[in-house]
Amino acid sequence: MTNLLEPVLISSLYDLSRTAAKPLLESVRYPWEALPLIGDFIRKLGAALPPGEYERRGEDVWVAKSAKVFDSAYLHGPCIIGPDTEVRQCAFVRGSALVGAGCVVGNSTELKNVILFDGVQVPHYNYVGDSILGHRAHMGAGAITSNVKADRTPVAVQVNGERVATGLKKMGAMLGDFAEIGCNSVLNPGSIVGRHTNVYPLSMVRGYVPANSIFKRPGEIAAKR
């Protein structure tokens, strides 16, 4: 099983030099194992951030002084907003959100229990919950992560014919570095999209999509040339 699951190891999906969550992600093998630990990690990291570079805005909320947060955005702790990041109009950051450097959290986008690596863009009407988005991953307008199954049972990850129980009732999507998700797509609970992979607009994604591929529809995935 270890070889079959190698594509969804943290080391296969992410460049950890591109996130302040590196110590957390180095402590586990699979990205979903980090989800229950995000809030406590943010509190510890936030308390150690240099006051010359970050300001504290309310309980357990730290915002880089070079970040731009619009007045209508809502930030709830624990939360860290990294340098040179924009949090735009009416964004709703519900908590346990570690947002990296140079990110865009767009108008009416909602974040909850997430890690956004540096350079991530979720710029228009996105919901991202219980998810980890790798360096420069991008979600098109209206694309969302679905993080709870309809029957409320624990989420399992499907990869290479293996079904791996996560023990989590809430798990959204794990997007590898440079993943591109098309507009109005839905990433079902437990979806994993490999590095440098593109997902067509209006897609419904379930399970694992390999790195360096193009997801056109369920059952039709082409390798990039």
Whole-number Å distance between alpha carbons of 159 and 131? 17
Burial of 134: CB neighbours in 10 Å, binned 0-12, 13-18, 19+ = buried
Q: Which domains does the chain have, with CATH numbers?
A: 6-223 (2.160.10.10)
Does residue 31 sit in helix, strand or coil?
helix
Compute how many other C-beta atoms are within 10 angstroms of the C-beta atom of residue 80: 26
Q: Pairing relation of β-strands 162-168 and 144-145?
A: unpaired
Q: Pairing relation of β-strands 79-81 and 138-139?
A: unpaired
pLDDT at 161: 85
Rg (CA), the chain: 16
Residues 70-106 have pLDDT tens digits of 999 999 999 999 999 999 999 999 999 999 999 999 9
Alpha helices in the chain (DSSP H): 10-13, 22-26, 38-47
Q: Pairing relation of β-strands 220-223 and 213-217?
A: antiparallel
Cβ neighbors of 52 (< 8 A, separation 6 or more) are none
pLDDT at 70: 97
- What is this structure's pTM? 0.96
Distance of CA 131 to the CA centre of its chain: 4
Whole-number Å distance between alpha carbons of 195 and 176? 4
Residues of the chain with pLDDT under 50: 1
Whole-number Å distance between alpha carbons of 36 and 154? 14
pLDDT at 4: 79
pLDDT at 1: 47
pLDDT at 58: 87
